[in-house]
Each structure stands twice: as C-alpha cells, then as structure tokens.
Amino acid sequence: MTTVPTELLQTLVAVVEFRSFTKAAQSLGVTQPAVSAQIKRLQVLLGTELFDKSAPGVTLTERGELVVNYAHRLLAINDRILHLSEPRSGEPPLRIGVPGDFAGATFASTFAAFRARYPHLRFQIRGDGSENLLRDLRQGNLDLAVAFTTDGPGLDARHHWREEMVWARGAETKFGISDPVPLVTFGEGCVPHRLATTTLNHAGRDYDIVFTTTGLDGLLAAVEAGLGVALLPCRSVPIELGLRDTGTLPKSPDMWGGIYQRDGIDCEVIEELGDTMAATLRPRPEEVVPARVQPVWPAVASTSDPAVAVRAGSRS
C-alpha cells in the first residue's frame, strides 16, 4: 500500500502558506533545492501536478487545492496522535467538585489511582455544598461533581443512587418526647440539615440547633458526647450511634446522590473518572454491618431500635 510521508505534506503546506519555496525552506530549516525535491517526490507519488506552472508565483492547480485541504486535516490528526504521549502541563486541570470530606477521605485512593494511570493528568478538587457544586457545574465552572439532592436525582445525572437517612444519637443524649430536639448539623448549606429541619417541622417537633461544624469527625464527636442528634446517611453513622427510631424522632425521607458531568464536555477520562467515583459511592449490601440492639434511650419513653452502620461518608 502506498503511503504519503507526513514530511512531504508539511513541506507542501509550508510552500502554500509562505507563497514561496525559499521562505518555506527557511521555516523548515532545509535548503530550497530540498523543498523542490520533496514537492517533486510528492507529485510523483500522487501522479498529478500540484502547482500551476503557467500562473505567476505559487499557484495551486485544482487538484493541488484539494490535496492541500486534505493535508491540513491529516497533519492535524497526526498532531493529536503525537499529543497523546506528550506532557500535558499546559492543559487546564480537570475541575472536580465533591461534598465536604469526600475530597480527603472517600476519593483519596480513587484520585491517586487515576494519577498513576494518567501521570500528566491534573486535578483541581474543591469541597463545597451540593447546591453550590451543581450551580457551578451548570455555569461551566466545574467539569465533574458529586452532589446530593432531596427531591430525586437531576435529569442530567450520569449516575444516581438513594441514600438512606438515619438519626445519629449518643447514649448520653437526653430529651423528652415534648422537648425541643437538640440538633447537631453541618449548617444550612448542606442537604442533611435541610432534611432534618423539614422532617421535624412536618412532624410538628420543635428543635434547637446546638452545634454546627464543617467536618464529619467533629459532628460525630458532638453526637457521641451527648450534645444532640444529627441526621446523616446511614453509611456515615457508626454502629453505636445509629438509630432507626419511629417513636422518638420522625422518619426522614431518603437523600439522592448523583454524579454530574458538565454539559457539552467530551472527555473519556472524565467519563471514566465519574464512573469510578459512582462505583465507590454506591451503597453495597455487603457493606452493611449486622444490626445490634441499642438500649432504651434515657428520658424517652420508646422501644429501642436496631442500628446500622457502613463505612464512613461525609458532609453533603
């Protein structure tokens, strides 16, 4: 099979762009006779004249114009192929948004594995509340985001799953059925906070926000110390704090998790990363720890409920 060497096409394009064999030779770092020889060789390979000798200057024939058009396209594809193996330090980083502690805990190994597979890949990872992440993604300021919602996944979610919500409560937490519920939360910007306050409002229960923190460890420490209760994804709650309680606290609706990709972006690496992040986050049945009976809570007239815990999660 006859092939056309790319250096011949590069020479042809240079002659046409500079409208001169001499200037093309200077730009390519070769002599003018070498350029003429390469053009002659190309014409022999193609079996056609590329330049109109009857016209003044450098003028292409009709067939020559067609060849130059294809040459531009082939050289562009050649550059893209070569670019795959070149360092990409000049390329913008992948902008990824994750809720709170997911950046440091849940996805640390995922990002490290991708760096090992794609050593020139650059990440720019930002932790924030789900609403802010979705807004920035849809405004084009993020390429990929993990976000949680209360009313089902967005239509543009690449992956989605359901997160069961449970109340976390320490053995030292004491309040009666008619007392305001002491709430420990991540603050108004997170989905569990909104679910907790909405659930209590619908149940006609008063509540006091007694502790606000930005990290899961601090929140669980406050719950364990008896400062109050927190509504969290079941996966985030240690077994000694988890409570499925239908008597003292109202059942909360579930939360929806989703992986969202910026509209219009076409990048296989981003799609692969999103798929991997979804596989990491989707709750798996084998992760559930067998239930353990909790003692009756002090100062609350209700029966105990089983607790369920899975691996640590994060702020939403």
Domains of the chain: 6-83 (1.10.10.10), 94-163+257-285 (3.40.190.10), 165-253+288-307 (3.40.190.10)
What is the mean predicted confidence (pLDDT) over 62-79?
Answer: 87
Q: What is the pLDDT of residue 211?
A: 92
- Strand stretches in 65-213, DSSP E: 94-99, 123-128, 144-149, 157-163, 165-168, 181-185, 207-212
Average pLDDT score, the chain: 79
What is the per-residue pLDDT for 223? 92
Instruction: State pTM to two decimals.
Output: 0.58
Q: Which of 170, 213, 228 is nearest to 315 (CA)?
A: 213
pLDDT value at 52 more than 80: yes
Predicted pLDDT at 230: 93
Q: pLDDT (tens digit, 9 = 90+) per residue, 185-215?
A: 988 878 899 999 999 999 999 999 999 988 8
* Residue 214 near residue 238, CB atoms below 8 Å: no
Both tokens assigned to 181:
């519920």
Q: What is residue 296's predicted lDDT score, i.e. its pLDDT? A: 31
Determine phi and psi for 140, rounding to 5 degrees: 85, 10
Cα gap 56→173, rounded to integer Å: 94
Summarize pLDDT for 81-138 with one digit per residue, the tens: 776 655 555 567 889 998 876 555 677 778 888 888 887 778 888 888 888 888 888 8
> What average pLDDT does the segment 158-178 reach?
88
d(CA 254, CA 281): 15
Which whole number is the average pLDDT over 7-23?
89
Whether the pLDDT of residue 297 is over 50: the answer is: no
Q: Are 6 and 36 in contact (CB under 8 A)?
A: no
The residue that leads in pLDDT, 149 or 301, is: 149
State pLDDT tens for residues 231-276. 998 888 888 887 655 467 888 999 998 999 887 776 788 888 888 8
Nearest residue to 136 (alpha-carbon basis) of 262, 275, 316 = 262
